[in-house]
Structure 1
């Protein structure tokens, strides 16, 4: 009898315990602000282990696209790509996408800080002021031909490339940049430009893993040295299309021939009048009272040569260097002689060229400056 009573008591205790364990929970409702705080507390305490473990750098592939604009700026897009795992699951991507959606500003701030470090290195290398703007972090998905998650970081990079007349040199801003495995760096440019070739060799360093019309691409693990990557672009010349013959025969360029002859005649007459009206050595013309030297230059022409450099404008310093070099000098010699940056030299040379005070032409890979009267 005692045994039966003990069994009954045990059964009663079990029933009570089970009833408490399976009692329905009282529903709890939280507003949007509370839910945000709860998610943050959960992440801080390691509750969202998957969210904390998945970062942009954990992508299966990273594709960096740099579109170089004609003014030297660049539109940069870094595409972090996530593929299904061996079980076909996209859990990693879904976790990252959820994190980006909930904390977009945090991701933007982190990416801006990291890219600003790269920009600062580019400024030290190129001696050009640069900055990034309009940075954004977005997500999207592809389902065809396979499921891919994309987290894209996009921004504008000012003065990424060096522009000089019809020539663009790009890549120095990324000197020392490192590509990890499954990472691609791609340069693109406007259709009006093509890769400059020297004796048939394209000016791309190092040799790209892929090249097509309008782009070059490097893939895989590599660290670019201080002078790489480098791409030199040149603007395409005006193409001359063949004229379609008509019933009257091919058109004759008589107008062009006539204009050329007229131009030559004008130049010849102007030179003749100049030589007749120029006073002889040691004489003056009675009006301007300017003495002419035996070599044909006037005393006034030498005033700029005798003026201290600090009293000359940038343009005058270039013109004086041209006179000292006999009317012709390489642009790179101007950079070294005046201790200027290439960007400053290009700006001064461009202003002189627009004012028709100098002429600029190319010999091989060099820009050469010349006074207009220099043959």
Structure 2
């Protein structure tokens, strides 16, 4: 090969070497086939994760609130509206401003976090009461106040369905908060619905405002059965629970008059019979029954009239209302509602419904002794019987 051919071969080899070196470099920079360019995606994922962590950290700042005030507005249907107010002193502080801006920028994240916290309490309440419950319509707002001191507020509002237990003319509050603790610097205030008053409270409230129940976490400890609040319709409240309370006062004057009348009738009957026995002209010493009076049944095995009145018709021939009235007759006119549940093997809901109907019709009266409902026949019905 001459010098010219050798030089041409060297040039070709140099050109091929340059092409081999250039192609991988070009592919790496242009995202060519077979090369994964993940550079831009990783920073974006990392940025999203950082934003989530930052929101969680900001949410945790609610735990640093100087005070937490929980207001519970009970409704007649057993639901309750909660207003949870996280309060921060010195609303001009940089930390408060940062928190306020973050809440306003991410209200859904804060609402979801608050819902999760209360759902944990709700689950304990459902297990304790066997009632279906739900926390819904959670919202959050921020605010500031200047009197009596400067405060920043992060305020959550939500509805808790199935919160209270309803029975006739009363609402029992507290069993849904089973296992609830009231930490220091936290208050709980419960407001009854319109037309209801507080009829019993455990434990004793702390300086309760009028028309509500108030506990301060600095000195309140709840036991397993607390908090407990008994709300009654106005006009039906019996005052503070007292196990020795015998219920409504007996009409003693009426009872005394009835006893006196019975004594007079008995004395008159004895005198008439005595006169008949000693009557002259050979009058029989056995008084004849008045005309038209049926002879008492004497045949063996027959049910007497007194026994029939005591036993009454068989239960399957009685309505639900009649069965309760029959129980009241058998118990002397009074019986605890829980005993009706046991005796008739009914659910509490069914018993409350039937009792409520009888009470509305004026067939029975309902009053409280301690924590129990007592059913009673009206005074006029007892005297008629």
> Does 2:305 match 1:302?
no
Matches within 5 A, 1:114-125: 114-125=117-128
In the other structure, the counterpart of 1:224 is: 222
Q: 2 CA distance for matches of 1:159 and 1:280?
A: 60
CA RMSD of the aligned region, Å?
A: 3.7
**8 A Cα contact 1:292 1:299, kept in partner:** no
Is 2:72 aligned against 1:66? yes
User: Does structure 1 retain, via aligned residues, the 8 Å contact 2:72–2:83?
Assistant: yes
Q: Which region of structure 1 is more displaced relative to structure 2, 326-335 or 105-114?
A: 326-335
2:83 and 2:342 map into 1 onto residues whose CA distance is: 36
- 1:120–1:374 CA distance, 2 compared to 1 (3 A): farther
CA drift at 1:343: 4.3
Alpha-carbon distance, 1:298 to partner = 6.8
Provide the C-alpha distance between the structure 2 equivalents of 1:131 and 1:364, rounded to a whole number of angstroms.
32
8 Å contact from structure 2 (residues 82, 157) kept in 1:
yes
Unaligned runs of 5+ in 2: 1-43, 237-292
1:14-71 deviation line (CA, Å, top 9, x unaligned): xxxxxxxxxxxxxxxxxxxxxx999745435x7x599547522221110000112233
- 2:366 and 2:373 in contact (8 A); partners too: yes
Matched, 1:325 2:331: yes
Q: How do 1:39-118 residues align onto structure 2 when only pairs under 5 Å count?
A: 40=48, 42-44=50-52, 52=58, 54-84=60-90, 89-118=92-121
- Given the two structures, how large is their TM-score scaled by the length of structure 1? 0.62
> Does the CA-based 8 Å contact 1:335-1:345 persist in structure 2?
yes
* 1:362 pairs with 2:367: yes
Aligned residues: 277
Alpha-carbon distance in structure 1 between the residues aligned to 2:99 and 2:334: 61
Q: Residue 261 of structure 2 aligns with which residue? A: none
Aligned to 2:207: 210
- 1:103-252 aligned at under 5 Å gives the runs 103-190=106-193, 192-196=195-199, 203-221=200-218, 222-237=220-235
Taking the aligned partners of 1:313 and 1:97, their CA distance within structure 2 comes to: 62
Can you give the 5+ residue segments of structure 1 that lack an aligned partner in the other structure?
1-35, 197-202, 239-278, 284-290
- 1:160 deviates by 2.0
Q: Check whether the contact 1:187–1:215 (CA below 8 A) recurs between aligned residues.
A: yes
Deviations 1:123-166 (A, max 9, x none): 22223222222221222222344321111111122232223333
> Distance in 2 between the 1:155 and 1:226 partners?
25
Contact kept, 8 Å, 1:185 with 1:219, in 2: the verdict is yes
Going from structure 1 to structure 2, the CA distance change for 1:374 and 1:293 (only over 3 Å counts) comes to: farther
